Amino acid sequence: MKSFYVYEHWRPDIDLCFYVGKGHGDRYRDFRRGRNKHHRSICRKLSRLGMCVEVRMVSSGMTESEAFALEVQRISFWRSSGVRLANKTDGGEGASGTVVSKATRSKHSEHSKRRWQDPSYRQTMNNKRRPELTDEFRLKLSDAQKKRFADSPDDLARATEHCIRLALARKGKPGRALADWEIEALRARRIGVKASAETRSKQSTAKLGKPRKPFTEETLAKMRAAAAAREQAKRDKFGTEVRRHSRIKECPDG
C-alpha cells in the first residue's frame, strides 16, 4: 500500500510558501512534470537568482484520503493569510495511479479528431494557442530574448544544447503526416509570400548535389495538365498554333 505525504515549496528569496502539494515517492522534488505555468515561472526566477526551491515536508505516512484532506487545509491556511499560491485549485482532487483503458483513449481520440474537423473550432483553438501578435509586440519579444541571452550566457548555452538534442532526436525519423486541413492552412498562409533573394540562394545551395526524388504519377499528371494549359493559352493569345521544334542530327552517309 502506498504511503502519501503533504509537502510545501518555499521561496528562499522572500521566505514564503508558494505551493502546497500531495504525493508519494519523489514527487516533492519534481519541479517540471505536471507543474503549471505559475509554478515553473517561480522556479525559473529562483534559478536566475542562483537559488533553489526549498521543500518542507508537512506530514508523511498517510493514506491518500488523509493527504488530500491535509492538502486542502494547508491551501486554505495560506490563502486566508493573504499568500498568493501557485495552486490553481483548493486541493483534494486527482486520482493517483488511474489507468485509462485503450478503449477509452480511443474514444477520446476519435472525439477530438471529429471536433478538429470543424473549421470554426479549429480557428477558435488556434487563436487561443497562437494569438495574433502585432509586429511591435514581436519586436519586444525579440529584444527581451536577446537581452536575456546577453545577460545570461548560461541560458543561451542551455537553449542551444536543447535545440541540438531535439535535432539529433528527430534525425532520421519521419515527420508526422499532416491532415488535409493542415495542408490547406499552410498553403493559404504562403499565398502572396515571396522568399527573399537570400532565402532562395540558401535553398538552392542546400539542394546542390542531392538527387531529386522521382515524381509520383499524380505529380506528373498535374505537370502535363499545366503544360497543356500553357500551350492552349499561347494558341488563344497569338491565334496560331505553337509548334514544338526538335533538332534532328543528320548522320553522314557512309
Question: pLDDT tens digits, residue range 134-157?
Answer: 778 778 888 888 887 787 778 778
Cβ neighbors of 201 (< 8 A, separation 6 or more) are none
Q: Looking at residue 165, what is its pLDDT?
A: 81
Q: Looking at residue 242, what is its pLDDT?
A: 47
**Rounded to whole angstroms, how far apart are CA atoms 251 and 162?**
65
Question: Rounded mean pLDDT of 29-50?
Answer: 89
pLDDT of 183 above 60: yes
CB contact at 8 A, 90 and 58: no
pLDDT band at 240 (very low <50, low <70, confident <90, very high): low
Q: Looking at residue 170, what is its pLDDT?
A: 74
pLDDT band at 5 (very low <50, low <70, confident <90, very high): very high
Q: Looking at residue 248, what is its pLDDT?
A: 45
Q: Looking at residue 211, what is its pLDDT?
A: 80
Q: What is the residue type of 200? A: R
**Rounded to whole angstroms, how far apart are CA atoms 159 and 152?**
11
Among residues 54, 56, 68, 55, the alpha carbon closest in space to that of 23 is found at 68
Angle, helices 119-129/102-116, rounded to nearest 10 degrees: 100
pTM to 2 decimal places: 0.42
Q: Looking at residue 10, what is its pLDDT?
A: 95
Cell of 205: 545551395
- Runs of H (alpha helix) within the chain: 37-48, 64-80, 102-116, 119-129, 135-151, 153-170, 180-190, 197-207, 217-238
3-state DSSP assignment of residue 19: strand
Quick one: residue 211, left, alpha or beta (phi over 0 = left, psi -120 to 50 = alpha)?
Answer: beta
Structural domain boundaries in the chain:
4-80, 100-132, 133-171
- For residue 174, CA distances in Å to 109, 157, 179 come to 22, 28, 15
Concatenate the DSSP letters of all residues of 143-207 into one string. HHHHHHHHH-HHHHHHHHHHHHHHHHHHTTPPPPPPPHHHHHHHHHHHTT----HHHHHHHHHHH
Question: Rounded mean pLDDT of 83-90?
Answer: 90
Q: Looking at residue 38, what is its pLDDT?
A: 93
Q: What is the pLDDT of residues 109-130, one digit of tens each?
A: 888 888 888 888 887 877 766 6
Average model confidence (pLDDT) across the chain: 82
Least confident interval from 38-42, 79-83, 151-155, 246-250: 246-250
CB contact at 8 A, 11 and 38: no
Q: Looking at residue 70, what is its pLDDT?
A: 94
pLDDT band at 21 (very low <50, low <70, confident <90, very high): very high
Among residues 34, 27, 32, 31, the alpha carbon closest in space to that of 11 is found at 31
The better pLDDT of the pair 7, 235 is held by 7
pLDDT of 97 above 60: no
